[in-house]
Structure 1
Amino acid sequence: MKKYLINICFIISMFTFAQNLKIIPLGVYGGSNESNLSSYLLAEENTTDYIALDAGTIYSGINKAIENGSFTNTTIENILKNNIKGYFISHGHLDHLSGMLINSPEDSSKPIYAIKETIEVLKNKYFTNTAWINFANEGESPILNKYQYIYAEIGKVFSIYNTNFTGTVFELSHVNPLKSSAILVENNKHAVLYFGDTGADRVEKSDKLAKIWKEIAPKIKSGKLKTIMIEVSFPNSQSEKILYGHLTPYLLNEEMGKLAKLVGKNNMKKLSIIVTHIKPKDDNEQIIKNELLNTNPYSINYIFPKQGDLIILK
């Protein structure tokens, strides 16, 4: 009887431990470097079952992660075919999906999660005979049926196949008429909110971010959601007239002020923000880091990801 109790306790403890999450950045920039574009692998810490959050860079990012020791005892081919269980594509710009396209001939069968508008871009612009080859399950013939489009409805929870995750997608304001999106990925203990490209509500004359802050506030208060991955593409010197649906440190702080009103300053101190999609032109990267760290009214823990470096979320 004691043996069975020990085994049960061990299983329970392992299950609980496995709930912590990990992120491996395959690409962190929003342009200029085709070997390091937006893509992040997310999994439970004790598994190798990843969902790719965007797919601007795949092969080069996996290779860098192996070099850095974030993956061990494996190969690029195995990670691509067996460990990446699916892709969430936030919108139809190349810096968020070109890695998936280029590596599609070597990939295995898996789902692509996206809003209808993004799937239409993939179907009509990229997976065509004139641009590439149709590796998906809809669109121009011949249809190779390697990837399966999963149409994510705004605000509706769906299962992420072959993982313990669910996803909920939200609409963002980026560059009209193109639609962008964010995804809330959850297991039974933790959640991560990942943003594709987005502008600030005030600049975009929108309420898209306000709706998201209202939706996620209870999860921040409960402690389930502690990590937000959001873009800061330009430094504060960039005119709001030429942001093209992106954020600056000033605008991120403006949005965080709205979130703080919903969750309180104490809960904001528990929040980590992984800064994505920096445009690495000249010294923009360092300027953005300084502007975020030096003006941080809500004491947020800012994380600046490096390609291939493992991030553990607890």
Structure 2
Amino acid sequence: MFQRWVFVLFISVFVFSHNATAGNNFEIVTLGDRGGIQDGNLTAFLLKASKDKNYVTLDAGTLVNGLIVAEQKGTFEHVKVPDSSPYNKVGYLLKERVKGYFISHAHLDHVAGMIIASPDDSGKSIYGLASVNQALSSSYFNWVSWPNFGDRGDGFQLKKYKYNDMPPKKWLDVKGTSLRVKAFPLSHSGIESTAFLFSNEDAAMVYLGDTGPDKVEKSDSLNQVWTSLVPYIQAGNLKGIMIEVSFTNAVKDTMLFGHLTPDWLITELKQLERKAGGKGSLEDLKIVISHVKYSLKKGEDPKVVIKRQLKEKNDLGVEFIFPVQGEGLIL
């Protein structure tokens, strides 16, 4: 049994590291796969282009703990710490290989890891819409909630982090990587959240922060994101969509507070399907489900229920993927 486990682990690491360098793809490492209250496992992902060695984060609810879990699972087996480095692998990854934070919105479960890690972090850019960066500056890095590690805001500015205000719907080069990115505003129960569209030469993927359905939010935000994805889908270049499903279908629209359920995600994806060319146009597209909320109630884990509810309604032919903390995947 032990030998078989070692063999499976070896094959998993080999496939992950091999695929990460094969083709024009995106490598994802899940630092946190939950939304809400499960501290230590809150929404955060590492992203890099297949040809790059450096990462950025997609939100940062959990950071150091996510890196520790990933290292323990062997996900970073292919990463070699230089002999000259004073850091262990977690320190090396955080300080040398993570080149920036993409923050979709300033809710605590999306930024806590970055804030807590900031005293020992290296200098980086925080990429976000102007409203998001303003919230980070005024609410956290202000010498009341936490020292001001930013380059703006109240009190003495330690200037470890540089706020990079992203103009909506305009391409931006990501420093230290080969990625380009475009930000789209999303509606999240009265605040501005963000979808980040990344391109890696001809390949693309999109990460959406917390968002409710357009009909409930009385918004056109998701519709605009879907429209932007159509050319990539039609060219066969969209590698995947990372999107939240926070609640099961049992939660009423009035209690969603800017989140999605399985039924609402299917509804939104059908809008995308119609735009992209009709039935079958999303066949085999990878949809990575994030931000499932942990529940303190007895009964089935909401993640299990959401998996089942998405499977029952999936007449789109898409592949739903549920990431696990510490594990890697290729888009």
Q: 1:256-290, CA deviations, whole angstroms, 9 ceiling, x for partnerless residues?
A: 11111011332211311000000121421111110
Q: Tell me if structure 1 keeps the 8 A contact 2:132–2:192.
A: yes
What residue number does 2:126 align with?
112
Instruction: Pick from 193, 196, 200 the counterpart of residue 209 of structure 2.
Output: 196
Q: Structure 1 residue 226: deviation in Å? A: 2.5
Matched, 1:259 2:264: no
What residue number does 2:249 align with?
236
Q: What amino acid is the match of 2:312?
A: N
Q: Structure 1 residue 46: deviation in Å? A: 4.5
SS at match of 2:28: strand
Matched, 1:78 2:92: yes
Q: Tell me if structure 1 keeps the 8 A contact 2:280–2:317.
A: no
Write the distance in 2 (CA, Å) between the matches of 1:105 and 1:192.
31
Q: Tell me if structure 2 keeps the 8 A contact 1:89–1:113.
A: yes
- More divergent stretch after superposition (65-74 vs 185-194): 65-74
Matched, 1:295 2:313: yes
Q: Tell me if structure 2 keeps the 8 A contact 1:27–1:40.
A: yes
What residue number does 1:131 align with?
145
Detail structure 1 runs of 4+ shifted over 4 Å in the superposition: none
Q: 1:223-276, CA deviations, whole angstroms, 9 ceiling, x for partnerless residues?
A: 111300000000000000110000000000110111110113322113110000
Q: What amino acid is the match of 2:293?
A: K
What residue number does 1:268 align with?
282
Write the distance in 2 (CA, Å) between the matches of 1:65 and 1:265.
38
Instruction: Pick from 170, 182, 191 the counterpart of residue 195 of structure 2.
Output: 182
Matched, 1:213 2:226: yes
Write the distance in 2 (CA, Å) between the matches of 1:151 and 1:83.
22
Matched, 1:51 2:61: no
Matched, 1:164 2:182: no
| Root-mean-square deviation (Å) | 1.5
Write the distance in 1 (CA, Å) between the matches of 2:33 and 2:173.
26
Q: Tell me if structure 1 keeps the 8 A contact 2:58–2:101.
A: yes
Q: 1:140-195, CA deviations, whole angstroms, 9 ceiling, x for partnerless residues?
A: 1210110000010110110111000011000111021x211110011103211000
- Equivalent pairs counted in the alignment come to 299
Write the distance in 2 (CA, Å) between the matches of 1:149 and 1:173.
22
Instruction: Pick from 27, 36, 42 the counterpart of residue 32 of structure 2.
Output: 27
Structure 1-normalised TM-score? 0.92
Q: What amino acid is the match of 2:313?
A: T
Q: What amino acid is the match of 1:147?
A: Y
Q: Tell me if structure 2 keeps the 8 A contact 1:181–1:196.
A: yes
Q: Tell me if structure 2 keeps the 8 A contact 1:197–1:231.
A: yes
Write the distance in 1 (CA, Å) between the matches of 2:284 and 2:180.
23
Write the distance in 2 (CA, Å) between the matches of 1:131 and 1:18.
44
Matched, 1:60 2:65: yes
Write the distance in 2 (CA, Å) between the matches of 1:293 and 1:18.
29
Specify whether residues 138 and 18 from structure 1 end up closer, same or farther in structure 2 by C-alpha distance, changes over 3 A only: farther
Q: What amino acid is the match of 1:45?
A: S
What residue number does 2:4 align with?
none
Q: Tell me if structure 2 keeps the 8 A contact 1:18–1:44.
A: no
Write the distance in 2 (CA, Å) between the matches of 1:213 and 1:18.
25
Instruction: Pick from 237, 240, 249 the counterpart of residue 227 of structure 1.
Output: 240
Matched, 1:311 2:329: yes
Q: What amino acid is the match of 1:277?
A: H
SS at match of 2:188: coil
Q: Tell me if structure 1 keeps the 8 A contact 2:170–2:182.
A: yes
Alignment of 1:32-43 (within 5 A): 32-43=37-48
Q: What amino acid is the match of 1:129?
A: W
Instruction: Pick from 137, 140, 159 the counterpart of residue 154 of structure 2.
Output: 140
Structure 2-normalised TM-score? 0.88
Unaligned runs of 5+ in 2: 1-20, 82-88
Q: Tell me if structure 1 keeps the 8 A contact 2:52–2:177.
A: no
SS at match of 2:201: coil
Q: What amino acid is the match of 1:308?
A: G
Q: Tell me if structure 2 keeps the 8 A contact 1:28–1:276.
A: yes
Q: Tell me if structure 2 keeps the 8 A contact 1:226–1:270.
A: no
Write the distance in 1 (CA, Å) between the matches of 2:34 and 2:76.
21
